[in-house]
Chains A and B, each alone.
Chain A
Amino acid sequence: DIVMTQSPESLTVSLGERATINCKSSQSVLYSVNNKYYLAWYQQKPGQAPKLLIYWASTREFGVPDRFSGSGSGTDFTLTISSLQAEDVAIYYCQQYYSAPLTFGGGTKVEIK
């Protein structure tokens, strides 16, 4: 199984400031045939189901605000919230879909300072 490791476990950021969440895969999730990274990001607000934010490591899902962006290469990926809003308080998860079984990172909790 591909192990997804997120850091930090929790993050406290002031409103309007940048939040950066890291995700590292235990092996490459780059498919050389299409040169795409098989990685997605989700947001889970308290008491709610997860919501898809990003797939292919950097493609925003329809309707996701552009303050959310994904990047990365090799085995290291980043989710960035460029200007944290109050409604962004949540736990964020990365997920690889390069190989079965699908696996998630342990989550990063984002709170307001």
Chain B
Amino acid sequence: QLQLQESGPGLVRPSETLSLTCSVSGGSISITSYYWGWIRQPPGKGLEYIGSISYSGNTYYSPSLKSRVTISVDTSKNQFSLNLRSVTAADTAMYYCARIYASGNYGRGWFDSWGQGTLVTVSS
């Protein structure tokens, strides 16, 4: 049974960098058919795709966040990570990591397994 678990600070100061890690267990991150993604959900709002990465390091980002986002992968630890720079209160959200079954190129596919999410609040 694949499990994903987000970890990282629950509070980040404005203008600083939000850093989260997703640990994958019950399966390898190094499978060609899958990408690994980050999605966020502001309190009481809908889902927003942040970006995704393959095990080989191919990345795709939402254009609205691309200038501030970096996603990386560490296959030796079966983990992938999110860095979001220069955060503001608008970045306060539940952050989910998820596996994407990549049915097309550029990491396009559906999210078939999700972490439980971690709430990140941006506040001084």
Contact = CB atoms under 8 A, between A and B. Distances in A.
B112 A61 contact: yes
Interface residues of B, number: 27
Interface in B87-116: 96, 101, 103-104, 106-116
B47 interface: yes
A13 interface: no
B108 A38 contact: yes
B49 A101 contact: yes
B108 A50 contact: no
By size class, the interface of chain A is 20 to 34
Contacts of A1: 63
B104 A97 contact: yes
B107 to A, nearest CB: 7
Contact of B114 (A51, A98, A99): A51
